[in-house]
Amino acid sequence: MEAELIYIGLAALFGIFMAWGIGANDVANAMATSVGSKALTIKQAIMVAAVFEFLGAVLAGGDVTSTIRKGIVDTDLLAGSPELLIYGMLAALLSAGTWLFIASKNGWPVSTTHSIVGAIVGFAAVGIGVDAVQWGEVGIIVMSWVASPLTAGFIAFLIYLSVQRLILHQEDPLTCAKRYVPVYIFFAAFTITLVTILKGLKHVGLDFSLRDSYMLATAIAASIAVVGGIAIRRIQPDRKAEKIQHFHTVERVFAVLMIVTACGMAFAHGSNDVANAIGPVAAVISVAQTGIIAAKSTVSIWILILGGAGIVVGLATFGFHVIATVGKKITQLTPSRGFAAELAAATTIVIASGTGMPISTTHTLVGAVLGVGLARGIDAIDLRVVARIFVSWVVTIPVGAFLAIVFFYIFKLILP
């Protein structure tokens, strides 16, 4: 009984630490374009994320989660020694949380999914055996380093080119913005709604068919586009500000759109990535209480609340480092550029959900920001910042694995 309480207490503590890391790093990515483009202030971004990330995590974060994420370890090999899974999951949480702390402090946007995957691979390889790791799955995850940023970058490039051609390069950009931005609002609302339906709502028992999902997303998007169009028509040109910044009023129109996409991305992100923190916690609690390794672990509401709260605190206390990198240092963002990046990231997530392509929210958004920068020419991108980001991506899985091996042996030595 005493050992069970120790395991559960440590799992909760390390789970909060990991959730804090997700907030400091991954959520900062989701909010960076809104802050970098000045559509939201840092305080407003934290408030939006606090509400929508928390709601996404708690309402749609999953009542059941896989014991080990992404099916990268053969749990059958642990049936005779379930305590090894407890040590391993605790080591994975602490390892991923530590790497996210280091990365966030340095402003490196890394993947929380890859951090926990690397940690689990590390403990499994030394704790169970190299054969226990499904190396094919790990290879597919590594492929997503290339696939997700390239896909998002290409889509962002095309979206921003369309914004330039249809609005910014026209003789009367404000009139064109009022004509075309409701269409962009429709596509943005459609993709964000679809992300939420496909990734989030199935966790709360609302499992729509693909056809129903598309119909529902279309209806909601059309409604939002109508409301957005009415709000946009009321925006009047500010002649004084226009003299200083030619597209001032046009960018105000896009700023309305950015707030919509920021709320949707935060909800979808909270519903999806909270599993990186609560999956291992649920696994430890399940094994500690039953002594049996199950393929699925039921998640109590208090674990979801724990994860949601940790994410919000992480963003509020440490998120500004990564927000500065993604939102300001890669390329200069305005609301129209930030919108193109967020819509491209959301579209890539929808494509990934439909095709089963493994994806990292971080890599997707950074790729989208790069795509927007490229649409303005290579000189618009700070290549030194990009190089540092790529290096941090490459070392995430090896560092996660190394730290997990160290912590695994420590826990094996000191825990009952």
Pairing of strands 296-298, 64-66: antiparallel
Please report, in tens digits, the pLDDT of each residue of the chain (416 residues total): 677 888 889 998 999 999 999 999 988 877 888 888 888 888 888 888 888 888 877 776 654 455 455 567 777 776 677 788 889 889 999 999 999 999 999 999 998 888 888 898 898 888 888 888 888 878 877 787 788 899 999 999 999 999 989 988 888 888 888 888 889 889 888 887 887 777 656 555 667 787 888 899 999 999 988 988 888 888 887 777 666 666 778 888 888 788 877 887 787 777 767 777 777 887 788 887 776 766 566 667 788 788 888 888 998 888 888 988 888 888 888 888 888 888 888 788 777 766 666 677 788 889 999 999 888 888 888 889 889 988 998 899 899 999 999 999 999 888 87
What local confidence, expressed as pLDDT, does residue 34 receive? 87
Q: Model pTM?
A: 0.83
- Predicted local distance difference test score (pLDDT) of residue 403: 95
**φ, ψ for residue 43, nearest 5 deg:** -65, -45
pLDDT of residue 229: 87
* pLDDT tens string 228-268: 888 888 888 777 766 666 677 888 888 878 887 788 778 77
pLDDT at 67: 45
Alpha-helical segments (H) within 204-359:
210-233, 239-244, 248-273, 275-290, 301-318, 320-324, 335-355
Q: Determine the Cα–Cα distance for residues 278 and 281; give it in Å rounded to an integer.
A: 5
DSSP 73-124: B-GGGGTT-HHHHHHHHHHHHHHHHHHHHHHHHTT----HHHHHHHHHHHHH
* Spatial CB neighbours of 387, under 8 Å, sequence gap ≥ 6: none
Interacting residues of 17 by C-beta distance below 8 A, sequence separation 6+? 93, 94, 97, 310
User: Using CA atoms, how far apart are residues 198 and 350, in angstroms rounded to an integer?
Assistant: 8
Q: For residues 47 and 41, give the distance between their C-alpha atoms in angstroms, rounded to a whole number.
A: 10
Q: Rg (Cα) of the chain, in Å, rounded?
A: 22
The pLDDT of residue 68: 53
What pLDDT does residue 62 have?
59
In the block, tokens 């790791």 appear at 133
- Give the whole-angstrom CA distance, residue 127 versus residue 110: 26
CB 93 within 8 A of CB 281: yes
CB atoms within 10 A of CB 355: 8
CA–CA separation, 260 and 131 (whole Å): 46
In this predicted model, what pLDDT tens digit does every residue of 282-327 receive, in sequence order? Answer: 778 888 777 676 656 666 778 878 888 888 899 888 888 898 888 8
